[in-house]
Homo-oligomer: A and B are copies of this chain.
Amino acid sequence: MKELCINETIVKEITGGITAPKGFSATGAHIGLKKKKKDLAIIKSELPATASGVFTTNLVKAAPVIWNQQVVNNKIKGIVVNSGNANACTGELGFRHTEIMAQTLAECINASKEEIIVSSTGVIGVHLPIDKIVEGIKTTITSLETTREAAKRAAEGIITTDTYTKEISVEVEIDGKTITIAGMAKGSGMIHPNMATMLSFVTTDADISKEMLDKVLKDSVEDTYNMISVDGDTSTNDMVIVLANGIAKNTSITEENENYFRFKTALDYVNRYLAKQIINDGEGVTKVLEVVVKGASTKEDARKIAKSIICSNLVKTAFFGEDANWGRILCAAGYSGAKFNPEKTSISFSSLGGEILLFTNGEPIKFDEDKALQILKERKIQIIISLQDGNEQATSWGCDLSYEYVKINGEYRT
C-alpha cells in the first residue's frame, strides 16, 4: 500500500480491482474464443451509473465503439467485454452482433440493451462466433461477485497478449466521505494484437454529474493514456470508460470546485498507473522511457514535443542500442510542430545509473561515454528536455524499438 500526496490531495492505493468501489460486481471466464485463456468479462453496477467514455479517433471504428458512442449518455448498468476477436471491419453483421451482446447481458441483469456498454478486442475482420458469446454470457453471469477474485477474473477476461493483468484501486477523501476509484486495462503491449487496442474500464462510487464526469475524463486522458506511445498506431477499438454510481454519497460534484480537483487527482492517479503499466508490459520492451519536457511556453507545445520524441523510431532504436544519441531527440522535438528555441534548449538523461547533461544552450557538450552507458543500461530511463521558454510541462511514456517488436509484429497473424 502506497500513499501519494499530489497537490495536497491524498490518494491512497488500496488492495482491490474494479469491484473495490461500492456497488460494483464483476466476473470473467473462458467461453471458447481463445484456446485456453479467459476471453469474457462482465461488470455490473448495482445502481444505474453515470457514464463517460473516450473513444478512438480512428475513422474506422469497430462496431462496439459505434454502439457505445450511442449509449454512453444513458445511465449504464453493465459492461460486457470479449477478447480474442475485435469485431472491427465486420460490416452490418458486426454491428448486429454488438447489439446482441448488449441485449444478452441486459436480459441477464434486468436492464435494457441501451444501458449496456460493449467492448471487443482481438483479431479484426472476422465475424464474432455470436452463439458462443450469447451462451457464454448466460453461463458466466452466475459467477458475478463483489470479491477481489471476481475483479481479477474480469481483468483476466479483457487481456490478449498482455503478460499480466493491470488493475488498481485507490481511495480519496471528498468532503469527509471516502470515495473509491478502481480501474482495469489491457495493453497494446509491443504486440498490438492486430490493432494495438487499448481498453480501460474505471469504476467509482463517487457522486458526480454527467457533465463533470465527461470533463474530468477528457482532461485526465489527455495527460495519461494520450501521452503513451508504443508505435503510434491508433486502434479501431480503443476506449476508456468510467462508471460512477454515486453510492459513496459525497456531495455531488457538479462544478469545478475543490472536490472536482480531488476527484481528478485520484482519477489521474488511476489512469496514469494503468497507462504506465501498458508500456511496462509491452513484449519486446527492453527500455521504459519517460520524456519530461519542462519550461515550455504552452502546455500544448510541451505535449507535442514529449509525444514527438516518444514516437520517434530513431529515438526508440537508439535507446534499444543504449546509444546516447541526443541529436535524434532534438530532431524529433524539432519536427513536433511545437514552437521553441533550440538555442535555449538543454537535454539530459537520468536513471538509477546517474544523470548526465548532453546538450545545453544550443551547443553539444563533450560527455563521458562510459557514464552515459551506465545510465542507459538501466531499464527505466528519463529524458529531460528543458526549453527555458516558460513554465509549462508535460510527460510522455514509451519504450524502445527492439528486434522482438519486429518479430512479434511480423508474425502476429500467421
Contact = CB atoms under 8 A, between A and B. Distances in A.
Nearest to A402: B406
A161 to B, nearest CB: 14
A327 B195 contact: yes
Contact of A335 (B58, B335, B405): B58
Given A59-B342, A330-B60, A335-B233, A126 B364 contact: yes
A403 B369 CA distance: 26
A401 interface: yes
Interface residues of A, number: 66
Contact of A233 (B320, B328, B364, B406): B328
Interface in A213-270: 231-236
Q: Name the residue among A195, A359, A409, A411 with the largest chain B CB count within 10 angstroms.
A: A409
A124 interface: yes
Copies of this chain held together in the complex: 2
A327 B410 contact: no
A321 B411 contact: yes
A331 B235 contact: yes
A406 B319 CA distance: 11
A339 interface: yes
Contacts of A320: 406, 410
Contact of A317 (B58, B90, B232, B405): B405
A413 interface: yes
Contacts of A333: 59-60
A407 interface: yes
B323 A413 contact: yes
Contacts of A410: 317-318, 320-321, 323
Contacts of A335: 57-59, 233-234
Contacts of A195: 314, 327-328, 331
Chain A interface mostly: loop
A125 B233 contact: no
Contacts of A414: 321-323, 369
Interface string A82-116: 00000011110000000000000000000000000
Contacts of A322: 414
A401 B406 contact: yes
Nearest to A327: B124
A211 B94 CA distance: 54
Contacts of A126: 364
A232 B340 contact: no
Nearest to A401: B406
Given A194-B328, A401-B406, A59 B340 contact: yes
B89 A325 contact: no
A326 interface: yes
Given A313-B231, A342-B59, A125 B326 contact: yes
Given A89-B330, A125-B359, 14 more contacts: A59-B338, A89-B364, A91-B362, A124-B331, A192-B314, A194-B327, A232-B232, A233-B328, A235-B331, A317-B410, A321-B410, A324-B413, A401-B409, A406-B406
Interface of A: 57-61, 88-91, 123-126, 192, 194-196, 231-236, 312-314, 317-318, 320-328, 330-336, 338-340, 342-343, 359, 362-364, 369, 401-403, 405-407, 409-414
State the 5 A-B residue pairs at the shortest beta-carbon distance, nearest first.
Answer: A321-B410, A60-B334, A317-B409, A124-B327, A125-B364
16 contacts: A60-B330, A89-B327, A89-B359, A89-B364, A91-B363, A124-B331, A125-B326, A195-B328, A195-B331, A232-B232, A233-B312, A233-B314, A313-B409, A325-B412, A402-B406, A403-B407
